[in-house]
Amino acid sequence: MSRDTQHVLLVLLGGALLRIAADETYLRYVRPSHRWLLLAAGAVIVVLAVVALVRDRTGAPAHSDVHDHAGAERHVPWLLLAPVLVIALVAPPALGADAVARAGARNAVVQNSDAFPPLPQGDPAELTVADFVERAAWDTAGTLAGRPVVLTGFAVRRGAATDLARMTIACCAADARPNRVRLVGDIGEIAPDTWLRVVGVVQAGSATLATGYVPAMTVTAVTPVPAPTDPYEY
């Protein structure tokens, strides 16, 4: 592979980073606070590649005694094209029902604490799925008891049953962990990955080790909603 081709591949790679960071696509992969890191990385890659390309095209040809080795080494730079093609042609979606199903029937690590702040004002109180799971499992003060709450997440099917789930990430989609809530009531047939706004009340004592810390919610209202721009919780 020529040096010019390598420089062009770097320009494409940096351009792909800039493209996903320019709109909301990057939220499928990383936290919102990482946007400026992606923009900076993409800009640096593009600038360095362009500078090197111009230098090679305008400078005197360099003599090299590097031999042309046969084998995979000559093709390694082409791997830079893989992420560019994935972003440009495939545009992988955010993690959804398949990722939750592969994670197993248990909720991920929950916070073993009995000190939770009061619920937000309003009826129903709007919570994240992760906060709802943690309160249902560990809140000895019973702040959820009898209190209608509203959760937003996507549907996950377990046979004939339906769970509401949301992925929580610390840094990026690679460390995502699922939180799910079992929906109890007449909610009809809902396709997996359908985003829902669910109003209901927790079933006391349902989030235990025996249930995999998956709380049950008695549902009073279910409304399909568009997928949010930012699909993850933090």
Tell me the per-residue pLDDT of 154-175, one tens digit each, with 9 for 90 and over.
999 988 889 999 999 998 888 9
Query: Strand 195-202 to strand 216-224: parallel, antiparallel, or no bridges (unpaired)?
Result: antiparallel
Q: What is the 3-state secondary structure (H, E, C) of 143-168?
A: CCCCCCEEEEEEEEEECCEEEEEEEE
Q: Are 136 and 206 in contact, with CB atoms under 8 Å apart?
A: yes
Tell me the per-residue pLDDT of 99-122, one tens digit each, with 9 for 90 and over.
998 888 788 756 666 678 889 888
The reply to whether 114 and 205 lie within a common domain is yes
The reply to whether 54 and 149 lie within a common domain is no
Which helix (H) or strand (E) is 198 found in, with range? strand 195-202
> Exposed, middle or buried: residue 211 (CB in 10 Å: 0-12, 13-18, 19+)?
middle
More confidently predicted of 184 and 67: 184
The reply to whether 157 and 85 lie within a common domain is no
The reply to whether 41 and 86 lie within a common domain is yes
- According to the model, what pLDDT value does residue 217 have? 97
pTM, 2 dp? 0.80
- According to the model, what pLDDT value does residue 64 have? 46
Domain with 85, as residue range(s), is 3-92
The reply to whether 86 and 104 lie within a common domain is no
| Local confidence band at 66 (pLDDT 50, 70, 90 cut-offs) | very low
Query: Strand 161-168 to strand 149-158: parallel, antiparallel, or no bridges (unpaired)?
Result: antiparallel
Mean pLDDT (the chain, rounded):
85
Cα 204–209–214 angle (5° rounding)? 55
- For residue 53, tell me if it sits in a domain: yes
